[in-house]
C-alpha cells in the first residue's frame, strides 16, 4: 500500500514510516496490540494463554492466520451471544508477554509500551471498525484506568484519538480526519482477503 508522496521530506507522517507493518518480521511482541484492545492474557505456571472475543467470522480467520505467522496455534469457538472466542493454547512462549502485562490478575500496559504497524494490525483485526466519522479501535471495558497510556502510544505514531464512551458506542478510540485515517491505513498495511472493505482502512483517493 502506498501513499501520495509528501510535499516535503521533513513531513512528520513520512518520518514515521518505520513503524509500519513492513518494518520488521512478525514477532510475539506484536500480540501487545491485542492486549491494548479487548484481549486478555492469563498465566498458569510457566505458561500463558491469550484470548479475545470478536464479533465477526472474518476476524477469526485473520487472527488465526496472524497468530500462526508468529508460531502460536489458536482455536476458536462460538459464544452464547453469537460472537466468537479466539484463544491460544497455554504456551511457555507467551509467558513473557503475560509477565509484562499482568499485575497480579489485572491487565496493564508495561512501562515503555508503544505501538507500531504490526501491533495496530492485530488490534484492528480483532476490534477495529469504521463509523460515520472515522475509524474505531475498541477497548476492554474494564481497562479504563490505563486508557490514557494507550492513547499516548497512539499519538506517538501519528494517531491522536478521542475516547468514545460506552454510552455512545464505546469504549473505543475514534480516529478521525483524512490525514490520520491515511496514516492508519499506512501503518496497518493491506487489507486481509477475509476482511470486508468497509471494515479496513484504505488510503483516501
Instruction: Give the pLDDT confidence score for residue 22 in this predicted structure.
Output: 53
DSSP H stretches of helix in the chain: 12-15, 32-36, 57-69, 95-101, 117-127, 147-156, 178-188
Cell of 53: 472475543
Tens digit of pLDDT for each residue in 132-171?
A: 989 999 999 889 999 999 999 999 999 998 999 888 888 9
Instruction: Give the pLDDT confidence score for residue 24 in this predicted structure.
Output: 65
Instruction: Give the pLDDT confidence score for residue 13 in this predicted structure.
Output: 37
Which of 130, 159, 119, 100 lies closest to 37 in space, CA to CA? 119
Instruction: Give the pLDDT confidence score for residue 14 in this predicted structure.
Output: 36
Instruction: Give the pLDDT confidence score for residue 202 in this predicted structure.
Output: 82
Beta strand extents in the chain (DSSP E only): 40-44, 47-54, 74-78, 84-88, 102-103, 106-107, 128-131, 134-138, 162-164, 172-176
Rounded to two decimals, what is the model's pTM?
0.87
Instruction: Give the pLDDT confidence score for residue 65 in this predicted structure.
Output: 96
Cα-trace Rg, the chain: 16
Topology (CATH level 3) of domain 12-199? Endonuclease I-creI (3.10.28)
Cell of 92: 511457555
Cell of 130: 469504521
Residues of the chain with pLDDT below 50 are: 1-20, 205
Amino acid at each position: 500500500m502506498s501513499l501520495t508522496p509528501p510535499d516535503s521530506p521533513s513531513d512528520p507522517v513520512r518520518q514515521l514510516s518505520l513503524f509500519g507493518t513492513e518494518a520488521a518480521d512478525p514477532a510475539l511482541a506484536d500480540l501487545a496490540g491485542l492486549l491494548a484492545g479487548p484481549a486478555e492474557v492469563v498465566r498458569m505456571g510457566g505458561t500463558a494463554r491469550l484470548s479475545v472475543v470478536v464479533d465477526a467470522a472474518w476476524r477469526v480467520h485473520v487472527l488465526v492466520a496472524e497468530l500462526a505467522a508468529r508460531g502460536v496455534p489458536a482455536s476458536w469457538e462460538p459464544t452464547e451471544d453469537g460472537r466468537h472466542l479466539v484463544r491460544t493454547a497455554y504456551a511457555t512462549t507467551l509467558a513473557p508477554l503475560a509477565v509484562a502485562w499482568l499485575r497480579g490478575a489485572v491487565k496493564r500496559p508495561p512501562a515503555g509500551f508503544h505501538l507500531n504497524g504490526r501491533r495496530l494490525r492485530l488490534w484492528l483485526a480483532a476490534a477495529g471498525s469504521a463509523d460515520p466519522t472515522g475509524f474505531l479501535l475498541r477497548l476492554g471495558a474494564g481497562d479504563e484506568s490505563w486508557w490514557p497510556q494507550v492513547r499516548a502510544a497512539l499519538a506517538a505514531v501519528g494517531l491522536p484519538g478521542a475516547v468514545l464512551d460506552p454510552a455512545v458506542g464505546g469504549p473505543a478510540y475514534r480516529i478521525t480526519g483524512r490525514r490520520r485515517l491515511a496514516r492508519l491505513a499506512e501503518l496497518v498495511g493491506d487489507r486481509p482477503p477475509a476482511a470486508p472493505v468497509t471494515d479496513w482502512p484504505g488510503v483516501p483517493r
